[in-house]
Structure formats: structure tokens, C-alpha cells
Amino acid sequence: MDLLDDYLAGVRATGAVFCQSVAQPPWCIRFVQPAPLVLGVPLRGGVWIEPDGSEPVHVAQQAVVLIRGGQPFTAADAMGTVPQVFVDGSNRYWTADRSSSDLALGPRTFGFDTEGSDLFVTADFPLLSAASRRLLETLPTVAVVPGEHRTTPLLEVLAAEVDQEEPGQQVILDRLLDLLLVRALRAWFTRDDVKPLPGYRALSDPSVGVALRRMHGSPAQHWTVASLAAEAGMSRAGFARRFHDLVGQPPLAYLITWRMTLAADWLREPGATVASVARRLGYADPFAFSTAFQRVHGVRPSKLLGRTPDSDARPAHG
């Protein structure tokens, strides 16, 4: 696994809720209870996305849009169009006048017109891990990744599968969603004008990238700056300086933050204890682990035992 694999481990789609809307302009849909992360694709026609409290963003046909934060947002053919349909996080929908009109056009599909010119598909990632939350915090509220040739085949399969109901349908859709998300994030983080994921751009460095992969591959190992420098094939001072320049943190500060990010997820596992998680991360002394955890997250590790991701206290760092 590499760094992006680790950050994405908590957003793997399982039973993702898909919503396909077919419409003829003018149209506007309000998503009233979206998940912490929503992926959307205008398969036909463009769409304007406007989260509450944020500026509207235009998404061209077959681009991928990531909407984070779990706040209500609208999707429309044009700015200023009044919402006609409301959708909640369970894929229930109703009209503005609360009429009993059945908008269902097929599995996961609704609209007023089966021959509508515009087709917009969204999918929800309901729960997120501490690691994936760190990833999301580097994204803007709305991130748009233009369509490109490597994504087109995935969109074609999505268009063919989203309104089908065959054996294994949900698994197919979940895996398509995973692929689209990874493609979108990989494209997003290669841009020079975006906030990078911590350490992501350093992965391409022939020396620091090796050390980063070692830390992520063996987070419990008793790493020192000297041992990491040896992995990178550099002097201790040269490695420490280059790591800080590329990652934005000293090597051991990055390692501790990553360990405590893993700990926030492991503490929620059934049967976990503070001592067992401390041991998994290479701490012989649970007190030392607890001190490091509280310094990074702002709460004692015992507060996270058995808690779900959406009830966690937000980290103090990262």
C-alpha cells in the first residue's frame, strides 16, 4: 500500500447510495441530507453545484465533482433556478409542493421526463475514517476534476449500470465508485494550484518517497531520523531538511501524526483497548501513547473507544 491507499482505506464504498436524475431544463435538485463526501457526474449536460454558504461552481459534462462537508447543496442546470425536487441521504425524494407524484423512472433513477436532455448521477460515501478525514480536509468544499480519456470508460460503464437491477449490482456500483474516486483524487492532487495531501507530492522524490513508504508500511517500527535517512540513502541532516521542505513537517512529527491518525480508527474497533492500540503502534507504555494521542487529537484515547466516525471529536492537527 502507498500513502494514498492508506488515506482512502476509510472511504471504500460499501452499499453506496446512488441517485440518478433525468431532467429537462430548467431543473434544480436540493440535497438536504448529503453524506460527508458526495461524488457527482453530469453524464449529459453541465450542472451548477451550490453548497449552502458557498459560491456556485460549474461542472462540465463528464467532469467529476467531489462535494464534502455533509452540508445541504443544490444542483441545477443554471444559477437561480428554484428547487423542484428534494432528496435526502436515503435516496428518498419529493417535489417542492410535497405532492404525491411518483418521480421514479427506474432503479436509483427519478425525474419528470424519461427523455430529459440532462442526466446527473450522485453517490454518497456515508462514513469516513480519521485517515480519510485528513484527506478531505485538504479539499475545497467543491472540487471539480475535468473529464479525461482515462475516466471516460468508467463513466460509460456507470451510465450502463446505475439503473440496472441484476445480481451483484451493488457490488459493481461500489467498485465503480471506488475507481472514480481514486482517479479523481489522483488527478486533483497532481495540480499545482491545490493544497496537497500531506506527503503526497513527496512520494515522487527518489529519497524522501522511500522513507514515506517505509513509515506507512511499518508505522509501529521504532524509526529515528537516522534510520529513516539510511532508508533514503541520505545523511541525517540532509534528509531531515529535504523531508521538511517536501512534506512541511519534520520526519518524526509526521510519523507521530500518522500513528495517531491510525489510532483514532483502531480505537473504534470491537474489543479495542488503549493498551492494545498502543502495542499495535509500537508503544510499550500506554501512558506515553495516551500523551501523544491527546497532543494530536485534543482528547484522551479512551474517549474514542467504541465510537463511530461521525461522533469523533475533530482532530486538533492535520
Residues 152 and 253 in one domain: no
**196 in a structural domain:** no
Same domain, 167 and 228: no
pLDDT tens, per residue, the chain with 318 residues: 567 777 776 666 666 778 888 888 999 999 998 888 899 999 999 999 999 989 999 999 999 999 988 889 999 999 989 998 888 876 678 887 766 467 877 788 888 777 778 889 888 876 667 777 777 888 899 999 998 777 888 888 888 888 888 888 888 888 888 888 888 888 888 888 887 777 878 888 999 999 999 999 899 999 999 999 999 999 999 999 999 999 989 999 999 999 999 999 899 888 999 999 999 999 999 999 999 999 999 999 999 886 655 544 343 333
Which residue, 189, 214, 239, sits at the end of a domain?
189
pLDDT at 12: 64
Q: Are residues 107 and 68 in the same domain?
A: yes
Please tell me whether residues 80 and 172 are part of one structural domain.
yes
* Alpha-carbon span 191 to 299, nearest angstrom: 35
Among 189, 218, 237, residue at a domain's last position: 189
Cα 87 from Cα 27, distance rounded (Å): 14
Please indicate, yes or no, if residue 234 is contained in any of the structural domains: yes
Specify whether 206 is located in the same domain as 171.
Answer: no
Q: State the CATH number of the domain containing residue 93.
A: 2.60.120.280
Same domain, 222 and 180: no
Q: What is the pLDDT of residues 129-165, one digit of tens each?
A: 777 777 788 889 999 999 877 788 888 888 888 888 8
**Residue 147 shares a structural domain with residue 65:** yes
Residues 223 and 281 in one domain: yes
In a domain, 13, yes or no: yes
Strand-strand pairing, 64-68 and 93-95 = unpaired
Are 169 and 160 spatial neighbours (Cβ–Cβ below 8 Å)?
no
Contact 201, 246 (CB under 8 A): yes
Tell whether omega for the bond before 286 is within 30 degrees of 0, i.e. cis. Answer: no
Q: Which domain holds residue 116?
A: 3-189
Residues 52 and 175 in one domain: yes
The pLDDT of residue 7 is 74
What's the confidence (pLDDT) of residue 210?
94
Domain contains 114: yes
Q: Is there a domain that residue 318 lies in?
A: no
Does one domain contain both 19 and 83?
Answer: yes
Q: Which of the listed residues 168, 189, 210 is the one where a domain comes to its end?
A: 189
Quote the number of domains for the chain. 2
Task: Find the distance separating the first CA and the last CA of the chain, reported in whole Å.
Answer: 21
| Residue 14 and residue 119 share a domain | yes
- Asked whether residue 317 is assigned to any structural domain, the reply reads no
Predicted pLDDT of residue 316: 36
CATH classification of the domain holding 214: 1.10.10.60
Distance, CA of 50 to CA of 271 (rounded, Å): 42
Q: Kindly state whether residue 91 falls inside one of the protein's structural domains.
A: yes
pLDDT at res. 312? 46
How is residue 126 written as a grid cell? 456515508
Residue 33 CB contacts under 8 Å (≥ 6 apart), including other chains: 72, 88, 89, 90
pTM over 0.75, yes/no = yes
Q: Give yes or no: residues 160 and 227 share one domain.
A: no
Considering the domain boundaries, does residue 69 fall inside one?
A: yes
